[in-house]
């Protein structure tokens, strides 16, 4: 299978997680821009997913900065009330998507093969936040298989629970089919779509119970089920998009 790689960037062109991991000087726009384009080149990126959900009005300028140096397709994530969506497209964005983002929306915007069977676009992640991921008052520590609640109490997670939760918290607002979650968490062992549904459902149920144990009813409802589509994390925190999304093409 060939692969499709999407690099996620913020309005200031920083890559989520990369600043914290590398100590990048956020006061040097030229350095930040160069780092983004180095990442695009090194990973042979097929697209940029530009997160403008917390835009400060510089989205058009960001798109133009990318377009000046690269012809890579730009997918913009913006809120439905954002009045600049048409301007984003005129500046060079291929499409504007509103959260929650369905995996099928990304597939269609990128022109990828049909992924309805869970095989056309199975995501793998390169994360810069392995030490700890914060979301909605919680902290997930993947290396320790621990989840810490808003009041600093914690619970242990199984390895599969950690991988599934990490997959969801790194992509808040994106609806993932069970097959895609299973592929990310289990790799080649995931099996077909039917096996994925049976494997992922119980893991989601256990995670909801543990989130509720630490944070009450609000925690239990952080992982949403989209009937017929899959699961998403409705995080209260600012989206912490992964640095890279690598999607397999059928």
Residue 21 above 50 pLDDT? Answer: no
The two three-digit tokens of residue 94, written as one number: 């291929």
- Read off the pLDDT of each residue in 217-223 and give the average, rounded to a whole number: 90
Least confident residue range of 48-57, 71-80, 119-128: 119-128
| 3-state secondary structure at position 103 | helix
The CA–CA distances, whole Å, from 200 to 105, 164, 195 equal: 22, 8, 9
Report the alpha-carbon distance of residue 24 to residue 184 in Å, rounded: 28
Token couple for 19? 């600043």
For residues 172-191, give the mean pLDDT: 73
240: pLDDT strictly greater than 50: no
Confidence class of residue 222 from pLDDT cuts 50, 70 and 90?
very high
Q: How many CB atoms lie within 10 A of CB 229?
A: 15
* Helix runs in 80-177, H state only: 85-91, 103-110, 159-169
For residue 62, pLDDT over 60 is answered with yes
Question: 19 or 142, which is more confident?
Answer: 142
Question: Is the separation of the CB atoms in 174 and 103 below 8 Å?
Answer: yes
Place of tokens 């609806």: 175
What local confidence, expressed as pLDDT, does residue 92 receive?
A: 92
Identify which of 57, 60, 56, 63 has the alpha carbon closest to the alpha carbon of residue 9. 63
Q: Is the pLDDT of residue 190 over 60?
A: no
Query: Is the pLDDT at 142 greater than 60, yes or no?
Result: yes
pLDDT, the chain, mean: 78
Q: Which two tokens stand for residue 115?
A: 């992924």
Of the pLDDT bands very low, low, confident and very high (cuts 50, 70, 90), residue 180 is: confident
Question: Is it the case that residue 1 has pLDDT exceeding 70?
Answer: no
191 vs 211: which has the higher pLDDT: 211
- pLDDT, tens digit, 9 for 90 and up, residues 78-118: 989 999 999 999 999 988 988 777 666 676 776 655 544 44
């Amino acid at each position: 299978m060939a692969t499709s790689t999407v690099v996620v960037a913020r309005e200031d062109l920083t890559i989520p997680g990369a600043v914290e991991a590398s100590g990048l000087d956020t006061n040097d726009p030229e350095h930040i821009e160069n780092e983004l384009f180095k990442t695009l080149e090194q990973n042979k990126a097929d697209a940029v997913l530009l997160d403008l959900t917390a835009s400060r009005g510089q989205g058009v300028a960001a798109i133009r900065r990318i377009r000046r140096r690269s012809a890579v397709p730009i997918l913009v994530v913006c809120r439905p009330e954002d009045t600049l969506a048409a301007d984003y497209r005129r500046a060079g964005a291929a499409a504007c998507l509103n959260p929650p983002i369905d995996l099928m929306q990304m597939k269609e915007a990128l022109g990828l093969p049909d992924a309805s069977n869970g095989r056309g676009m199975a995501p793998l992640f390169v994360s810069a936040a392995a030490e700890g991921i914060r979301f909605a008052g919680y902290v997930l520590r993947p290396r320790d298989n621990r989840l810490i609640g808003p009041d600093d109490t914690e619970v242990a997670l199984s390895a599969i629970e950690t991988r599934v939760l990490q997959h969801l918290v790194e992509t808040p607002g994106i609806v993932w089919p069970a097959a895609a979650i299973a592929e990310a968490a289990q790799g080649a062992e995931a099996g077909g779509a039917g096996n994925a549904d049976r494997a992922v459902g119980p893991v989601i149920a256990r995670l909801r119970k543990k989130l509720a144990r630490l944070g009450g009813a609000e925690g239990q409802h952080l992982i949403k089920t989209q009937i017929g589509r899959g699961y998403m994390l409705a995080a209260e925190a600012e989206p912490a998009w992964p640095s890279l999304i690598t999607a397999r093409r059928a």
